Amino acid sequence: MNSGDEGLSKPVWKGHSPVWEDRWARFSQGLIQGGISAAKHDFFRNWVRKFFAFIRPRKFDQATQEDVAYYLTSLVGEGKKGWQVNQASQALELFYREVVPQTWAQRDWPKTPEVDASGEMSARPAPLNRPPVSGERIEALKLRTDQGELDAHRQGLVQAAEVRLRTERYAYRTEQTYLEWIRRFLVFAGDVGRSDFNTVQLEDYLDYLTLVRRVSASTQNQALNAVLFFFKAVLDCQVGVLEGVARAPASRRLPVVLTKSEVAQLFGEMDGVGLLMAQLMYGAGLRVMECMRLRVQDIDFGNGYIVVREGKGNKDRRAPLPKVVVSRLQEHLREVEVRWKKDREQGVEGVFLPDALSLKYPKAEKEWGWFWLFPSEQLSDDPWTGKIRRHHVGAGGVQQLVKRAATRAGLVKPVSPHTLRHSFATHLLESGSDIRTVQELLGHADVSTTMIYTHVLNKPGVAVKSPLDL
């Protein structure tokens, strides 16, 4: 059975009011008069039903000729066969000319793309531009929400997305973010059947996020990425239908950068392990989670570098180990080793290992080299296995430490741990490091990302040193 014919074993008019039963009866009579066999009547009704879902939240009698044209175009984008699109057009033409007559339907009916001899579309039309956002549309969106509970069926769709995310090896934080956006989207879409999802619901949700919730462009694009994953991985939607979904233009803002004296002021208000983590983020250009996820074996004192494993984009890289922190870091490792030994004595489960290494090397999770450089004070549940084990410290606590230290230091700039990474890159360029070297140290895939720091001249050929050592 073709994709456009799924879920039609039962007549779609069951359970409708007498008015709708009469409409579907007249629809069937029109199909018979048009020479359509009774075995195909459910298929024709299904195209009309899908069109109703397509124009939601407007009612069926509020449809326009442009809506029909856009709907037929979307079917092409979904990869429907030429005969399916023609069938949908024929069904809607009968409904709006005979069953629920509309003035616009009596004029020229929207043309469907031509079909070649093989039955495939000879050419796919360009997606139509959606009508401009009106005050009426905004008010309609305000009546909807993405907060609420999901029924068992839609919760099953979220669980299916979770399985696909883990199968495709997405990071745990990305997995949780995507699942939350997918859950919100399903709440917003309402009672929509699995086969009825299309880009109209997605575009409605993006408009809702922008016009009602007023989220930033980056947040809207994050939601779009999550829902696109859901469409492709769970609903098995053709990529073509998703290509026309516009992304919000990302804001290009200059990073907040501290001067060297401001960095010194900030560090002057910190002490202990918090100071050590801040020094590593600034001295090696680490992202906050890259610092939190460091393991004992990632510190190479002999060669003077830090190995950053599974950074952004699942890439490894090396970062300079500031000489200033070496003695304090060695002292910290002796303190951490005491905790590691107590965990072994108390039979605590080993630490989490990536990529199923615990299966390949069963003893590795309890070895000293794999222990966290900054372990948490408390034991916690492993979300992947359910085991009680020791995880690394959380990013939230480190962010609060840095912000409070900035307040005590009297810094008026909005300071966060990532500000230290921005300062690392800027101070390297100020000291004469070339842009390509800074790109590699930061782990940027494209030098255009690093170019944002070129508000100072770069001088190629200068040996790289940690700005903390200057």
Burial zone of 95 (CB within 10 Å; 0-12 exposed, 13-18 middle, 19+ buried): buried
Provide the CB-side half-sphere exposure for 7 (13 A, CA): 13
DSSP for 135-200, please give it. Answer: HHHHHHHHT--S-S---HHHHHHHHHHHHHHHHTT--HHHHHHHHHHHHHHHHHH-S--GGG--HH
81 is catalytic: no
**Residues 23, 50, 287, 391: which is the catalytic one?**
287
Of 135, 139, 466, which Cα lies nearest the Cα of 319?
A: 466
444 is catalytic: yes
Rounded Cα gap, residues 120 and 125, in angstroms: 13
**Residues 58, 387, 404, 418: which is the catalytic one?**
418
Burial zone of 120 (CB within 10 Å; 0-12 exposed, 13-18 middle, 19+ buried): exposed
3-state secondary structure of 13: coil
389 is catalytic: no
Residue 226 token pair = 């999550």
| 230 DSSP assignment | I
Of 406, 407, 434, which Cα lies nearest the Cα of 418?
A: 406
Q: Any bridge partners for residue 308, and if so which?
A: 317
Tell me the one-letter amino acid at 210: T
50 is catalytic: no
Task: Tally Cβ neighbours within 10 Å of residue 24.
Answer: 20
**Residues 137, 312, 332, 403: which is the catalytic one?**
312
All residues at 6 or more sequence positions from 214 whose CB lies less than 8 Å from its CB, including other chains: none
All residues at 6 or more sequence positions from 396 whose CB lies less than 8 Å from its CB, including other chains: none
**Residues 23, 391, 427, 444: which is the catalytic one?**
444
153 is catalytic: no
Q: Any bridge partners for residue 381, and if so which?
A: 388
Tally the residues of the chain. Answer: 470
Taking the alpha carbons of 353, 355, 358, 361 in that order, is the dihedral positive or negative?
Answer: negative
All residues at 6 or more sequence positions from 222 whose CB lies less than 8 Å from its CB, including other chains: 177, 181
- 51-56, Cβ contacts within 8 angstroms, sequence gap of 24 or more: 51/88, 51/92, 53/192, 53/193, 53/196, 53/198, 54/198, 54/200, 55/200, 56/190, 56/200, 56/201, 56/204
**Residues 71, 178, 208, 453: which is the catalytic one?**
453
96 is catalytic: no
**Residues 183, 421, 422, 427: which is the catalytic one?**
421
Buried b (16+ CB within 10 A) or exposed e, 284-316: bbbbbbbbbbbbbebbeeeeebbbbbebeeeee
Catalytic positions are 287, 312, 418, 421, 444, 453
